[in-house]
Structure 1
Amino acid sequence: MNNNHLMRIALFVGLVAAITLAVIYRDRFDGAALEAWVHDAGPVAPLLFMLAYALAAVLFLPGSVLTLAGGALFGPVLGTVYNLAGATLGATLAFLIARYLASDWVAEKAGGRVKQLINGVEGEGWRFVAFVRLVPLFPFNLLNYALGLTRLRLSHYILATAVFMLPAAVAFTYLGYAGREAVAGGEGMIQKGLMALALLAVVAFLPRLIASLRSGPMIDTETFKQMRDTRKDLLVLDVRTAGDFVGEQGHIEGAVNIPVEELEQRMDELGDYLERPVAIVCRTDKRSAKAELLLAEEGFADVHVVRGGMTKWIDAGLPVV
């Protein structure tokens, strides 16, 4: 066993021990204790705050406590700067730790669906990082480690993390600031509260916006037929009811039927197609458009609505079952 291997084992054991202790004593990690600690730090308080934020990200401590505290302690502008810097530093440290500990092993051992997912992430590069930062599909702390197991370029990861975490950082930092002002009875409490709510509404709307940008364009029947004939990895997803699927119009051979009303509950059945093309059909295309949005919000990267659905397919004289 070489020294590098021993160092990895030691780092892994130390990391697990530190995370375990952090989880056990996480009840002591609250805003009041953090505020007292920062005030005692004097002029180096901002630096210590950013380091504490980074350490919290590495040890799976809740970043929301720190983000709100940053707004309360440093105000909306400097608080955003310190929060974003600390979160980016912590995300980078976790990414590098995971890459050092296990990326080679994962690259060697991964196969099947796991390998496919990794290849999809690496293929999208910074765009995938941007998407998951704006649309938090996975917990922030866990995602940092998971992305370190891929071959994403470090510079792309850091830049996309910093840029695309900014909207949420601004919103939640301002929320912490507004909360502190409300408690202290500062002026303009109503305006500041409304501003905080407006920023949170923008952040809440971002997943839908990004999902619509990430999804593929609507395609006509001819294009759909060409894709079906040439793309063997294409999933044809029919989102009509089970009765319609075997009813008057019939269905396209090989199509998978999941009614749009059941799609959220049955999303795990489509896990193999996260990074593969999906064409959605219904009677026309209204139900398909709803299904497209649901899939895009779950991270499906290549989703298309077939314009006119089964009606246009049948009008074109194409075969059905």
Structure 2
Amino acid sequence: MKSARVWLRIGLGLLVLAGIVLAVMYRDAFTVEALETRMAELGFTAPLIFMGLYALAAVFFLPGSVLTLAGGALFGPVWGTVYSLVGATVGATLAFLVSRYLAADWTQRRAGGRLSMLVRGVEQEGWRFVAFTRLVPLFPYNLLNYALGLTRIPFWHYVLATFVCMAPGAFAYTWLGYAGREAMAGGEGVIQTVLIALAILAAVMFLPRLVTRMRRGRDLSVQELHERLDAGRVTLLDVRGADEFAEGHVQGAVHIPVDQLLADPQRVAESHGGPLAIICRTDRRSARAWQALARAGVVDARVVAGGMEAWIRAGLPVSR
């Protein structure tokens, strides 16, 4: 029985690998124009074929954006979004299940050190991590589907967060494909359609910043930082340069310049898992450091609002 499962896994792995190789070989033929031509010939079965093709594209690493644009051109902004979103979610789910079946147990047994910490951080975040990465695409969509399958994130949490949080991007790209078709056809209201497409795309491009700030939570004020440091309830990372740190810093702060932290955030995360506060001169470099640590699996970190400038303005003690 065990031998049969092993061979089944090997066969499934080879099948997926062969599909990926074929997809890479014929990637140049995978264009919006080619899809429109093929789908137009399918009649009433086109939506089902389109969703199935989208699902296979997600499993075999074909670019989903091409399909989403084609969906808008073929089916319009509303149904194009529905078909693209359903197909993308089904494909993401298939890749997730394949990865979990093939390698999740092996990964859990063999993961150690930084990888183990990263996996635990992702699992603690659960659906929130899935939602964050769907709204803020830190990793390629196709690769992320397989990577998340290696964790213990609950199946339905993954599916629902994927479906809901991919919707804004799906709608934006679908409308863009619809606007492109209208522009080519020269129909009435084409300027309005194109302007709406640009506005939606701009809103979706702004969304990652908004989501990142929301996920970061409320920034830590300098007074709150002072109280937590006195109580020994937080580790403070100072990510400024060496000269700035030498001119004046908070007593007990751990100095890690932001360039050094960004070069190896997992090493910093392994040494300082949280709770963390991050400070710089203002809070821009702190925000970059927070993003890197969040990707490395740190789930309990806060940015100090206003940085050292706010600390000094508040008359709090500075060590030199």
> What TM-score do you get using the length of structure 2 for normalisation?
0.88
Structure 2 matches for 1:1-321, cutoff 5 A? 2-221=3-222, 223-224=224-225, 227-228=228-229, 230=232, 236-247=236-247, 249-250=248-249, 252-253=251-252, 255-258=254-257, 262=259, 267-271=262-266, 272-273=268-269, 276-283=274-281, 287-288=282-283, 290-298=284-292, 300=294, 301-307=299-305, 309-310=307-308, 312=311, 315-317=315-317, 320=319
The alpha carbon displacement at 1:281 in A equals 2.1
The alpha carbon displacement at 1:41 in A equals 1.5
User: For this pair of structures, how many residues does the alignment match?
Assistant: 309
What is the SS of the residue equivalent to 2:236?
Answer: strand
Deviations 1:166-190 (A, max 9, x none): 0001100000000011001111111
Deviations 1:114-135 (A, max 9, x none): 1111111111111111100000
| Cα RMSD (Å) | 2.4
What is the SS of the residue equivalent to 1:237?
Answer: strand
The alpha carbon displacement at 1:203 in A equals 0.5
User: Does the CA contact (< 8 Å) of 1:219 and 1:305 recur in 2?
Assistant: yes
Deviations 1:6-62 (A, max 9, x none): 110111112111101110111111122212221222211100000000000000001
Give the letter aligned to residue 245 of structure 2.
Answer: F
What is the CA–CA distance in structure 1 between the aligned matches of 2:185 and 2:195, rounded to whole Å?
17
1:216–1:47 distance in 2 versus 1, CA, 3 Å: same
The alpha carbon displacement at 1:253 in A equals 3.5
- Percent identical among aligned pairs is 51
What is the CA–CA distance in structure 2 between the aligned matches of 1:256 and 1:187, rounded to whole Å?
61
1:24–1:246 distance in 2 versus 1, CA, 3 Å: same
What is the CA–CA distance in structure 1 between the aligned matches of 2:223 and 2:250, rounded to whole Å?
17
What is the CA–CA distance in structure 2 between the aligned matches of 1:298 and 1:178, rounded to whole Å?
36
Give 5+ residue unaligned stretches, structure 2.
none
What is the CA–CA distance in structure 2 between the aligned matches of 1:317 and 1:297, rounded to whole Å?
28
> What TM-score do you get using the length of structure 1 for normalisation?
0.88
The alpha carbon displacement at 1:210 in A equals 0.5
Give the letter aligned to residue 291 of structure 1.
Answer: R
What is the CA–CA distance in structure 2 between the aligned matches of 1:157 and 1:201, rounded to whole Å?
27
What is the SS of the residue equivalent to 2:123?
Answer: helix
1:219–1:163 distance in 2 versus 1, CA, 3 Å: same
User: Does the CA contact (< 8 Å) of 2:265 and 2:292 recur in 1?
Assistant: no
